[in-house]
Chains A and B, each alone.
Chain A
Amino acid sequence: MLDMSGFPTELSGENTPMVSFRKVRKSYGALTVLDDLDLDINAGEMVSIIGPSGSGKTTVLRMLMTLEQINSGVIYVDGQPLTHMPKGGKLVPANERHLRSRRADIGMCFQHFNLFPHMTALENCMEGPVQVLGLSKAEARDRSEELLELVGMIAKKDQHPSRLSGGQQQRVAIARALAMRPKVMLFDEVTSALDPEVIGEVTNVIRGLVSEHNLTMLMVTHQMGFARDISDRVCFFYGGKIEEQGHPSELFGNPQRERTQQFLSAVREAV
């Protein structure tokens, strides 16, 4: 039995972060992907995660979305434990019922969109609100059409994903995630699978979300310029830890750690 005494059953207080990783560890056999990660993200904050492949960036998002289990530590969302649940004043690993109740706060967009191919763009967006949130079809349709309008896809609402370009699919995927009204949005390399000429249409949508919505966002990206433009904070991951983090102007303009400098110069050379 792991000692859970260092982890409170909930976080409270004025400055409770929206997302909090506390000593989170994840390994696959002998390979440690996340090494006692501590990371707080405040409500309304836009945080980008950059770093070399294999540094654990995507794993952070996947654990927050509960797609993967953590080995130790606790993740809190909006003050409540996500990966664990309180039982008799202590935290025990979460069961599926607890996960379902907490997961509602989180939405995610994937590198390969993962739209449902057997549904139209509109049906993709309505699926969660109708099935999971229990909205009426009319309510779900209104909400979905509003969001498809927001991402500029209303004209294609009756198309199946196979008829849409990558950029269009990703915009629908963003609308689908937003239709669940999450508090935290996760973007996992959402432009990596796109043709260069359509990257802009997706980044513009995300830009709009940053300026107009009070969403908490966590984004894994390889697009340094984009991360620099829109993030409140950038975290450089290396070897399953945050090697360096800070305001984008500092981290990109004046990186302190040698590994950060190496990574950034390697990325710049590649461009």
Chain B
Amino acid sequence: MFDWKWEFAWEILPRLVTATGNTLLAAGAGYAIALVLGLALAIAQRSPYRGLTFVVREFVEFIRSTPLLLQIFFIFYVGPQFGIRLSPWMSGMIAIGLHYSCYLSEVYRGGIDSVPKGQWEAAIALNMTTVQKYRRVIIPQAIPSALSGMGNYLVGIFKDTPMLSVIGVAELIHTANAIGSEHYRFLEPFTMVGIIFLAISLPAAGLIRLVEGRVRRKLGLK
């Protein structure tokens, strides 16, 4: 019943390693988009322009309330009807980046809200511009309390990359499935994929905690 074949496992390893690279690339690119866009969304929600605040808030709610899978399908299959033709890779990274930017914007928002009102007032008293206030005073203090949330979503994005297999991105699950169909053996590829995910997620979580502590110390916070 349990016939694990080392030879087969060894043979498919190179393909899985390549796929791991793709998975990491998709997760990294998606995360980079989410980090930047999320911050923009968080700041936009605090702008004095009511219209902008309203639109952004509704957008974030909409994205957070619909499945990532739907968003991936929408961008890839419905996009062309509006003249937006993107490769599976591009569609996937944009979908993941967009989806997680909305979650990250909430993390940032919590971090920004945790900065005391007096800090804003001190920034005004020094006659700072809005950009200076955020860049020099607010964001450096918001990031430490947002770090654990940011780290969680990095691992979250990594674990959500298999969804890109549905539009044919050759990440880990997609590759493992292809290998299984070719050789009629699923035990080795899927087990190995599980181990690869675990081997990356666990150290990543530890690393995030390490970075968190270091950033806090560097900023002179407890």
Binding site for B on A (CB under 8 A): 65-67, 96, 100, 103-104, 106-108, 110, 112, 114-120, 127-128, 131-132, 160-162, 176-177, 180
- A114 with B221: CB separation less than 8 A: no
Q: Is B140's beta carbon under 8 Å from chain A?
A: yes
Min CB distance A13 to B, Å, is 28
Min CB distance B124 to A, Å, is 6
Min CB distance B43 to A, Å, is 16
Q: Is B202's beta carbon under 8 Å from chain A?
A: no
Min CB distance B205 to A, Å, is 25
Min CB distance B127 to A, Å, is 5
List 30 interface pairs A-B (beta carbons < 8 Å), by A numbering. A65-B121, A65-B124, A66-B124, A67-B124, A100-B127, A100-B129, A103-B127, A104-B127, A107-B125, A108-B125, A110-B122, A114-B118, A114-B121, A114-B125, A115-B122, A116-B137, A117-B219, A118-B140, A118-B221, A119-B220, A127-B126, A128-B126, A128-B127, A128-B128, A131-B136, A132-B126, A132-B128, A132-B129, A162-B222, A180-B127
Q: Is B141's beta carbon under 8 Å from chain A?
A: yes
Q: Is B119's beta carbon under 8 Å from chain A?
A: yes
CA distance A66 to B126 in the complex (A): 11
- B126 with A180: CB separation less than 8 A: yes
CA distance A67 to B117 in the complex (A): 11
- A117 with B118: CB separation less than 8 A: no
Q: Which residue in chain A gives the minimum CB-CB distance to B119?
A: A114
Min CB distance B11 to A, Å, is 53
CA distance A132 to B136 in the complex (A): 11
Min CB distance B108 to A, Å, is 17
Min CB distance B84 to A, Å, is 37
CA distance A96 to B121 in the complex (A): 15
List B contacts of A100 (CB < 8 A).
127, 129
In-complex Cβ contact of B128 among A114, A118, A131, A160 (8 A):
A131
Q: Which residue in chain B gives the minimum CB-CB distance to A100?
A: B127
In-complex Cβ contact of B136 among A66, A120, A127 (8 A):
A127
List A contacts of B116 (CB < 8 A).
114
Of B132, B137, B141, B220, the most chain A CB neighbours within 10 A belong to B220
| CB-CB contacts below 8 Å: B103-139 with A | 116, 118-119, 121-122, 124-130, 132, 136-137
- A118 with B122: CB separation less than 8 A: no
List A contacts of B219 (CB < 8 A).
117-118
- B122 with A132: CB separation less than 8 A: no
Q: Which residue in chain B gives the minimum CB-CB distance to A97?
A: B129
List B contacts of A116 (CB < 8 A).
119, 122, 136-137, 141
CA distance A161 to B125 in the complex (A): 18
List B contacts of A180 (CB < 8 A).
126-127
CA distance A188 to B139 in the complex (A): 26
- B129 with A118: CB separation less than 8 A: no
List A contacts of B118 (CB < 8 A).
110, 112, 114
List A contacts of B127 (CB < 8 A).
100, 103-104, 128, 132, 180
Min CB distance A116 to B, Å, is 6
- B141 with A131: CB separation less than 8 A: no
List B contacts of A66 (CB < 8 A).
124
List B contacts of A118 (CB < 8 A).
140-141, 219-221
Convert B195-222 into 0s and 1s, putting 1 for each residue whose CB lies closer than 8 angstroms to a CB of A.
0000000000000000000000001111
Q: Which residue in chain A gives the minimum CB-CB distance to B216?
A: A118
Min CB distance A113 to B, Å, is 8
- A177 with B221: CB separation less than 8 A: no
Of A96, A104, A107, A127, the most chain B CB neighbours within 10 A belong to A127
- A160 with B220: CB separation less than 8 A: yes
List A contacts of B122 (CB < 8 A).
110, 114-116
Min CB distance A159 to B, Å, is 9
Additional A-B contact list (14), CB under 8 Å, known A119-B220, A132-B127, A161-B220: A65-B121, A65-B124, A67-B124, A96-B130, A104-B127, A106-B125, A108-B125, A110-B118, A116-B122, A117-B221, A128-B127, A131-B136, A162-B221, A162-B222
CA distance A108 to B127 in the complex (A): 11
List A contacts of B222 (CB < 8 A).
162
Of B119, B125, B136, B137, the most chain A CB neighbours within 10 A belong to B125
- A177 with B132: CB separation less than 8 A: no
List A contacts of B137 (CB < 8 A).
116
List A contacts of B130 (CB < 8 A).
96
CA distance A108 to B220 in the complex (A): 24
Min CB distance A137 to B, Å, is 14
Min CB distance A191 to B, Å, is 16
Min CB distance A147 to B, Å, is 14
